Structure 1
Amino acid sequence: MTGIETTLRLLHDGERDLEQDLLAAAARHHTDHEFHHVALDVARWSREHAARLADAGRGHGLDLSGPRGNPSPGALAALREKASEALGRRSATGLLLLHDLRDLHLAAARNSLHWEMLAQAAQATRDERLLALVTDCHPQTLRQLRWTNTQIKILAPQVLTSV
């Protein structure tokens, strides 16, 4: 397996993981409507990225379209939502949200680095299709990073000084 193929696989897995993590965090923090809805929106970006990476992978002899190893069942999502409603806006909920934002930020940063590596490899090999994929998708990953960073900047002072 070439370095490009390895990076495609890592990035595909990273985008799928980020999507699932965003969906789980959105369910956990269902009562924070702004976070919930934005997390669902940016999770869609990761789902689209993974689909496009799977398509690009086929051009490199990879099958990246297999089922997820750990799908989130509907009952678990409903339980998360009920737990979120029961917790409401207590300080423990703020710490959990801050923890989730940190993990989401690190996952998005890892994906961003993989997008950058893929861009450099596409330029080096003059792979216009791969470069177009990176040009389309990487800016959305950077927006995911900025969103999590902004949320951390807003939430951290409130949560960490009130605990």
Structure 2
Amino acid sequence: MNGIALTLRALHRGERRLERELAAVADRHRAEHEVHHVATDLARWSDEHAGRIADAARAYGLDLRGGAEEEADEGPLSRVREKAAGWPGHRPEPGLLLLRDLRSLHLAAAGNSLYWEMLAQYAQAAKEDRLLTLASDCHPRTLRQMRWTNTMIKVVSPQILTGL
């Protein structure tokens, strides 16, 4: 498999992962209306990105429409961690959980941003207009996802961390 195929596969996996994480955060923090609503909207963006990546990847012999690969990167340990977090004495404070979730979302979006940049650079060098359009359309949204998580961390960190 060549480098562009690997990049498309990694970017698709990253967008699907970010979509799942955003949806989970929206669900976990329903009481925080801004978090719930914005995370839900941003999850839709990642879903759209993943669909567009899968469409573009067909030209490189990749079928990214399946679900098994996407679920494989979760692993059984993540489910064990989630169940253990709910046990008495193991549940973090809601504020700390929100900070952890925002940090995780930010890092996932940052990883995707790097892949979008790599894809755009390849597309420019190879004169692949379809891929350049894809990156030009989707990367700004990923940057917006990062700005939102960063802003939320700045807003909630002082309140949460001084309340400890």
In structure 1, give the amino acid aligned to 2:53.
L
Alpha-carbon distance between aligned partners in 1 of 2:114 and 2:23, rounded to the nearest angstrom: 22
Q: 1:147 aligned to 2:148?
A: yes
Report deviation, 1:69: 2.1
In structure 2, give the amino acid aligned to 1:152.
I
Report deviation, 1:162: 0.7
Alpha-carbon distance between aligned partners in 2 of 1:28 and 1:134, rounded to the nearest angstrom: 31
2:19: which partner in 1? 19
Alpha-carbon distance between aligned partners in 2 of 1:69 and 1:11, rounded to the nearest angstrom: 15
Q: 1:42 aligned to 2:42?
A: yes
1:58: which partner in 2? 58
SS of the residue 1:59 aligns to? helix
Q: 1:69 aligned to 2:71?
A: yes
Per-residue Cα deviation, 1:86-113 (whole angstroms, up to 9, x for no partner): xxxxx91011000000000000000000
Any gaps of 5 or more consecutive residues in structure 2? 75-85, 87-91
SS of the residue 2:93 aligns to? helix
Per-residue Cα deviation, 1:83-139 (whole angstroms, up to 9, x for no partner): 9xxxxxxx9101100000000000000000000000001111000000000000000
2:119: which partner in 1? 118
Report deviation, 1:31: 0.8
In structure 2, give the amino acid aligned to 1:9.
R
- Aligned counterparts, 1:81-92, within 5 A: 92=93
Alpha-carbon distance between aligned partners in 2 of 1:23 and 1:64, rounded to the nearest angstrom: 20
Aligned-pair RMSD on alpha carbons?
1.8
Q: Identity of paired residues, percent?
A: 63
- TM-score for both structures, normalised by structure 1: 0.86
Per-residue Cα deviation, 1:23-50 (whole angstroms, up to 9, x for no partner): 0111110111111000000000000000
In structure 2, give the amino acid aligned to 1:139.
P
Alpha-carbon distance between aligned partners in 1 of 2:25 and 2:160, rounded to the nearest angstrom: 17
- TM-score for both structures, normalised by structure 2: 0.86
1:106: which partner in 2? 107
SS of the residue 2:138 aligns to? helix
Alpha-carbon distance between aligned partners in 2 of 1:153 and 1:4, rounded to the nearest angstrom: 36
